[in-house]
Amino acid sequence: MLSKARKLAEIVAVALLTAMFAAFLLQIFMRYVVNQPLGWTSEACVILYIWTVFWTSAFLLDESEHVSFSMLSDAVSPVARRVLTIIGHVILGLAFASALPAIVDYISFMKIDSTPVTRIRFDIVYSIFPVFAVAVVIRSVLALYRAIRGRNESPSHTPEAL
């Protein structure tokens, strides 16, 4: 079931990237070939980019694929690294979990405004962010569990998975 959900997430990510690329190509064609630029294509590219980044970050990227600053943890012993990992995931999970009500409230509030050209409400444009925030909390809990049990690697990076 998890592999089917991941496959669906990949299909959605590919569709988002494909739509963004198509809008980008249409924008270039209309501007430089037809000499009739379209305003909505720029907006579509930005909206699709926002959705692509948060969608893939929430559902497709492993922990090791996210940007991290690990100079300190790389310089300490494995025990200290484990402690830093636990502290980091507790802070990250609590920060996103405690911010979630405010995130949802603010995005709900954003329905009062919309994008300039396509008139898509901003609450719809940014509705992917609470999904991302929930995914960060879930990933933090799972990573915390692995760190406490002494398994710092994500399941997809174990030798058996490769």
Write the single-letter amino acid at 119: R
Lowest mean pLDDT among 49-53, 74-78, 99-103: 74-78
Structural tokens at position 160: 């058996």
Residue 2 has what pLDDT? 82
Is residue 118 domain-shared with residue 56, that is, in the same domain?
no
Chain centre distance of CA 133: 8
40 shares its domain with 92: no
What is the model's pTM? 0.83
Does one domain contain both 24 and 73? Answer: no
**Quick one: 49 and 68 in the same domain?**
no
Find the domain containing 100 and state its range.
64-162
Question: pLDDT tens digits, residue range 81-129?
Answer: 888 889 999 999 999 999 999 999 999 999 999 999 999 999 999 999 9
Query: 28-37, 63-72, 140-149: which range is least confident on average?
Result: 63-72
Considering the domain architecture, whether residues 17 and 95 belong to the same structural domain is answered as: no
Whole-number Å distance between alpha carbons of 111 and 128: 14
Query: Do 123 and 72 share a domain, yes or no?
Result: yes
Task: Give me the residue label for tokens 């484990």.
Answer: 82
The structural domain count of the chain equals: 2
Q: Residue 64 pLDDT more than 70?
A: yes
Rounded to 5°, the CA angle 113-46-41 comes to 95
Question: For all residues of the chain together, what is the average pLDDT?
Answer: 89
> What pLDDT sits at residue 152?
57
CA-wise closest residue to 153 among 141, 139, 143, 162: 143
Domain final residue pick, 25, 60, 95:
60
Residue at which a domain ends, from 60, 93, 108: 60
Both tokens assigned to 73: 């943890």
114 token code pair = 């919309």
